[in-house]
Amino acid sequence: MAGNKLKSEKKEPKKKKEAPAPSPDVLKPDKEPEVKVRELVKDERTHKVLGAVFLLLALYCFIAFTSYLFTWEEDQDKVFRYSSSVLFRDDVDVDNLLGRLGAFTSHWFFYKGFGVASYLFTYFFFIVGINFIVGRRVFRFWRNVKYIIFGLLFLSMTFAFLSGKSAFPWGGAMGDALNKWVSGFLGKTGTGLLLITAGICWLIWKFNLDFKWPEKQAKAAKPVMPAYAEEEAEDEGEVEDLRNAPSINDRYNGLKGDAPPVFKEEEEEAFDPALQLIEREETAPFATTPPPFAMPEPEEDLALEELKLTIHDDAPPPQPLPEPEPAPIPLDIPPPAPRKPKVVEDVAFEIKPVYEDPTDEEVEEIVPVREAVPVDPYEPTLDLRDYKYPALDLLENHGSDKIVQDASELEKNKNQIIDTLKNYDISIQKISATVGPTVTLYEIVPAAGVRISRIKNLEDDIALSLSALGIRIIAPIPGRGTIGIEVPNVKKTIVSLRNMLASDKFQHSQMDLPIAIGKKIDNENFIADLAKMPHLLMAGATGQGKSVGINTLLVSLLYKKHPSQLKFVLVDPKKVELSLYKLIEKHFLAKLPGEEDAIITDTKKVVHTLNALCIEMDLRYDLLKEAGTRNIREYNAKFTQRRLNPQKGHRYLPFIVLVIDEFADLIMTAGKEVEMPIARLAQLARAVGIHLIIATQRPSVNIITGTIKANFPARIAFKVSSKIDSRTILDTGGAEQLIGQGDMLISFNGEVVRLQCAFVDTPEVESVAEFIGEQRGYPDAFLLPEYIDEKDMEGKDFSLADRDPLFEEAARVIVQNQQGSTSLLQRRMKLGYNRAGRLMDQLEAAGIVGPNMGSKAREVNVKTEADLEEILNSML
Ligand SMILES: Nc1ncnc2c1ncn2[C@@H]1O[C@H](COP(=O)(O)OP(=O)(O)OP(=O)(O)O)[C@@H](O)[C@H]1O
């Protein structure tokens, strides 16, 4: 019986050809055939073929038309006589260089169409061909189509008008008809004038001819535009107004399309769908700006903008903007100099937005007017409102992402699996295959009565008989009731990060921190939310793809997040792996106050940074508690609805992602000092938006300790050297059988999934970092709270001479608020509990606050700031 089955299996390829319906023994078709037509349309090779066809068409028409100019007289009567049948008459000899087809086509275009203007069709084929073949919008499609239509009408009519009774079809039938109709309507002179006017209008439109009166220009006083007003105008693209302002013409001409980059891009979008057809496709291989990355730009913030403009207009004009008022609370996000939303509290604690404008009290007077205006939500991205998200074409396509299916390889492996199992007396009911980028999964349904553990035990034997590295047996595949055997493909496919980021799933994801990790065996993109993971542990022997993996994660986040929404803390003990990201320091990196480098390479500084992150976490928890919210999402939502008062220390909280590239190194040198804060962060930081990505080459138990492991539910293993290592990281074997180069297992949500990690090369990362780095950023990196090492302070008894450098500031905070509370100091000054407590002790010693009163705040002995200044002066 088993024998019969096996025989039928061997005949299977023939069956497959004859009958499309899959028999149980037939290899399960791969997913591709289902999406064949779509795939074909999307395939860049199809575009290239189309491009080549259009270019040839352009060349063909050009030669035929040019030849027609010289041979039309000889060929015309033949074409007339035989009409389209001339194409098939061997006995007719024509002079056109491209034969009967050339003569007929050009006659058709010239005589029946638009005359000499028909050359514009050649141009049309050419631009379409180039756009397709290059894969980018080299020529703007709609703009050119408009010009071509205008050109066809205008030129054919003009030629018809000028040529009079010439036998050559200068304007073609179309031009003649147009000319005849317009001449009847306007008369000959009127038609001439119309053509001249149309020609001049076109020249003005195209080249913006200058008709300025020179003397008047000289006299005209150059209106001084306040710096910020100019900025506004540019941002809003107020081209018409700018045209009147002297010097603006020199800067750019909006009509010509050589506007500054911000403007240009919008224009391109509007004018250029040569590839719109293609851009709408899911993979959007040509998309220059990923649409979902677009931020809600000016229109949506119109009300807010209007508000700002009103304030600026009222302000005394041209003087440079004064510095913003020193904010009572230092905010983490450095304020964008000119405009920063401030919230004013009224009696009923209703918060209204006003804008911190440094000019004068008039601003306050405007407040009542604004009460009628609905409160605009706070938009953190306005900090860097002109920030442009990186475009997909900064990344590369590493070969075609199309999985190559080798039928003979599939057949060979299938037969070998069947034979091997047969040798061990295991018969199977059904076998199917799914081809992935790196491995093919053969799914087996064993015959009734075969014990799964038997197959599992034969893992090594099957691997041996298939003589392939990287075979993994999954028995059973959870939820499928089958046994899986993964066999590496002879020809592997690189999964380009670009394609993953272009996928619908990524572009339209609503995740907080979407990361494109790789492709599953069934070619589905594996995109996860780091915020939900909520931390990620990565391990893998050297050279197996860890660094590429980290870059993939970081670049995914950079493509989806605005600098105001995300900050990275990068720890790179190897010193070279993450150095590329230095370029984005002022946009996306966080660092300790007073540090030079944002990328941390020194172990001692790592300890400080981790502790500073713990302080940031504690502060964030305080803020969440005060706001009555449970997590960062709720908190930020409340803050953006302006329901939290910044004067009480509330601020928009960006996500913070801590990346440690070589964890083993840190644990070896700093041990518990590193482990403790990491474990604390891993346990608690998720709710406040701090997430950890930790990578290590050595996944041994003394490095990935129980405490760490317990708090990292999501773990990635690249190829490791032993089964023990695999167990340490994944709690199961398998990672030792991977084949390297980004082949990985991810354990997430209780499942272990094999993925091919998306590939992004260093030059690509560099160009993304450069693209971001070249844009306007914050004045400095995001500052973490200061951390003072306990040890550094130990043994320093308080004496007035060596009081804390923040002593005076702390005293002012306490006196201003008339509240002797340590947590107030912590919050306002972003200090750790220990340091704030020590400051409080020093304030007590100086007599500024009273003694500790348990859970109640200490009494403040100094009642006014003037008194305090006196005390502070006397202490000098
Ligand atoms: N996802 C991938 N797809 C294709 N090739 C990859 C992938 N990941 C890594 N590789 C290949 O493997 C090489 C080594 O990768 P990578 O530098 O990331 O290893 P590593 O584990 O970080 O090594 P080390 O620990 O020594 O830094 C890369 O140069 C690349 O050629």
One domain, residues 137 and 163: yes
Is 196 within a domain? yes
- Where do the H-state alpha helices sit in 272-361? 276-279, 302-314
Is 364 within a domain? yes
Which of 437, 464, 488 is where one domain is finished?
488
Degrees to nearest 5, angle at CA 551 with 594 and 598: 5
Q: What's the token pair of residue 709?
A: 């492991």
Q: Quick one: residue 795, left, alpha or beta (phi over 0 = left, psi -120 to 50 = alpha)?
A: left
One domain, residues 143 and 84: yes
One domain, residues 72 and 88: yes
468-472, 632-636, 819-823: lowest mean pLDDT where? Answer: 468-472
Is 36 within a domain? no
140-173 pLDDT per residue, tens: 788 888 888 988 989 999 998 888 777 888 888 8
Which of 188, 207, 226 is where one domain is finished?
207
Distance, CA 222 to ligand 1 centroid (Å)? 59
The CA distance from 537 to 77, in Å, is 81
Is 397 within a domain? no
Ligand 1: residue whose CA is nearest its atom 16: 545
The gap between the terminal CA atoms of the chain, to the nearest Å, is 101
Q: How many Cα neighbours within 13 Å face the side chain of 338?
A: 18
Q: What are the angstrom distances between the C-alpha of 839 and each of 138, 674, 686, 864?
A: 64, 26, 30, 19
Q: What's the token pair of residue 348?
A: 């009923």
Ligand 1: residue whose CA is nearest its atom 15: 545
- Give the CATH number for residue 817: 1.10.10.10
The share of the chain scoring above pLDDT 90, in percent, equals: 23
Distance, CA 741 to ligand 1 centroid (Å)? 5
One domain, residues 386 and 444: no
Could you tell me if the CB of 720 is within 6 A of ligand 1? no
740 annotated to a ligand binding site: no
Which of 172, 207, 242 is where one domain is finished?
207
Distance, CA 760 to ligand 1 centroid (Å)? 10
Q: Which is the closest atom of ligand 1 to the Cα of 548? A: 18
One domain, residues 712 and 691: yes
The CA distance from 494 to 742, in Å, is 9
One domain, residues 583 and 517: yes
86-125 pLDDT per residue, tens: 788 778 788 888 888 888 888 889 888 999 999 999 999 9
428-447 pLDDT per residue, tens: 888 888 888 888 888 888 88
Candidates 520, 526, 547, 575: which one to mutate for ligand 1, based on the most atoms within 8 Å of Cβ? 547
The CA distance from 328 to 331, in Å, is 9
Ligand 1: residue whose CA is nearest its atom 2: 742
545-554, 647-656, 697-706: lowest mean pLDDT where? Answer: 697-706
Could you tell me if the CB of 757 is within 6 A of ligand 1? yes
Mean pLDDT over each residue of the chain, to the nearest integer: 75
Is 35 within a domain? no
Q: Which is the closest atom of ligand 1 to the Cα of 540? A: 21
pTM over 0.90: no
- Give the CATH number for residue 481: 3.30.980.40
One domain, residues 619 and 675: yes
Structural domains in the chain (count): 6
Could you tell me if the CB of 551 is within 6 A of ligand 1? no
Distance, CA 52 to ligand 1 centroid (Å)? 36
One domain, residues 607 and 540: yes
The CA distance from 378 to 653, in Å, is 12
543 annotated to a ligand binding site: yes
728 annotated to a ligand binding site: no
More confident residue, 206 or 699: 699
Residue 615 · residue 785 · CB < 8 Å: yes
Could you tell me if the CB of 759 is within 6 A of ligand 1? yes
Is 785 within a domain? no
276 annotated to a ligand binding site: no
Strand-pair category, 514-520 with 525-529: antiparallel
Is 784 within a domain? no
The share of the chain scoring above pLDDT 70, in percent, equals: 73
Residue 283 has pLDDT above 70, yes or no: no
Is 550 within a domain? yes
One domain, residues 149 and 182: yes
733 annotated to a ligand binding site: no
Ligand 1: residue whose CA is nearest its atom 10: 741
3-state helix, strand, coil in the chain (%, to 5): 50, 10, 35
Could you tell me if the CB of 543 is within 6 A of ligand 1? yes
One domain, residues 616 and 738: yes
**Residue 308 lies in domain:** 298-321+329-391
One domain, residues 16 and 91: no
More confident residue, 85 or 716: 716
One domain, residues 581 and 559: yes
